[in-house]
Structure 1
Amino acid sequence: MIKIHPTAEVLTNSIGDGTMVWQYCVILSNAVIGENCNINYNVFIENDVIIGNNVTIKPGVQIWDGITIEDNVFIGPNVTFTNDKHPVSKNKDFNLLKTIIKKGVSIGANSTILPGITLHENVIIGAGSVVTKDIPEGEIWFGNPARKRIQH
């Protein structure tokens, strides 16, 4: 059963069973969301977005066109995704850059993910990081700019 809070504006019909959408979320009509997801308070999901199964998106996150989030991903509170390297108001030359978040990734609170990046499987991004490039599978990165850290 899908649970959608009455204050949420959900325009898509593509939401998997067991997903919960909390208060004050907006999900546009072409977004695709998998099963057993937890879309927390005050999340915005644009049209050209695919979200896999068992994904948790904490409050204050905006997921813009061109972003794909695979299964079993955790997106911490206030994570910022971007899809344009050179944002300008009313930009007629806008170039949508696709971002891919692979299976099992965890992104800490208040991190920023620049556009056109792939976070490969089981990556961990520490809170407050600014991710400026692709991250290989299974690595831990944090900082500004984010850098690879050695596990202890």
Structure 2
Amino acid sequence: MSGYTADSTAIIDSGATVGDNTRIWQWVHVCSEARIGSGCSLGQNVFVGNKVIIGNNVKIQNNVSVYDNVTLEDDVFCGPSMVFTNVYNPRSHVSRKHEYRDTLVRQGATLGANCTIVCGVTIGEYAFVAAGAVVNRDVPAYALMAGVPARQIGWISQHGERLDLPLRGEGEACCPATAVRYLLREGQLSCLQGIQSNPQVPSDARQHGH
């Protein structure tokens, strides 16, 4: 007996792996080779392709298609109607299935409603992509991104609070909600308490894209 719940309208192809306590809502389609962890939520009209790895506690809101070659680590949030791609230069009359580019979304990142992630990029841990942004390059961990094309406008904590830090250089700040400390050195932000990993995430989600 499966440990997940799915609406009667959902299609879960034979061979797909879905973890315990994952909830799959109306009109979802999960392809046969997809791997989905535990405690996830797939909203109405979500599509999950074959070559997709989704970790634990991932929230995918309505009308999101997670295409082949996309990996979502633990605790990723995909806002309503945000967009992934897997071909950089698509043409209807040219087959480019052998040219799919990998997209990796690291642990805890948020992809806001209606944003677009152009294939071939890595979104760093706990980064925050604002609603409507278009990401076409790698995003640093904890970066707050906005605009078309997306540009970094600040830093954000694991809790989702803006940090009082310069974009470049060095500095130290505390999350206003949790008092957890963050250190900025040479343009890279780190959490001094570290990131709490979930050991149940599929191993491929940790290795993909390294």
Distance 1:62 1:90 in 2: 22
Q: Give 1:90 shift.
A: 4.1
TM-score by length of 1: 0.97
Distance 1:149 1:85 in 2: 25
Compared CA separation, residues 6 and 124, structure 1 to 2 (3 A): same
2:89 paired with 1:86: yes
Distance 1:34 1:83 in 2: 22
Instruction: Say which is worse superposed, 17-26 or 82-91, in terms of deviation.
Output: 82-91
Which of 122, 147, 151 is residue 147 of structure 1 equivalent to? 151
Larger radius of gyration between Structure 1 and Structure 2: 2
Task: Tell me the equivalent position of 1:116.
Answer: 120
Partner amino acid, structure 2, of 1:142: A
Contact 2:64 2:83 (8 Å CA) reproduced: yes
2:55 paired with 1:52: yes
Task: Tell me the equivalent position of 2:42.
Answer: 39
1:52-102 deviation digits (Å, cap 9, x = unpaired) = 000000000001100000000100000000001111114234411000000
Distance 1:138 1:124 in 2: 7
Task: Tell me the equivalent position of 1:2.
Answer: 4
Which of 53, 70, 75 is residue 72 of structure 1 equivalent to? 75
> What is the CA RMSD across the aligned residues, in angstroms?
1.1
Q: Percent of counterpart pairs with the same letter?
A: 38
| Unmatched runs of 5 consecutive residues or more in structure 1 | none
Distance 2:95 2:60 in 1: 31
2:114 paired with 1:107: no
Distance 1:13 1:114 in 2: 26
| Unmatched runs of 5 consecutive residues or more in structure 2 | 155-161, 165-210
Task: Tell me the equivalent position of 1:23.
Answer: 26
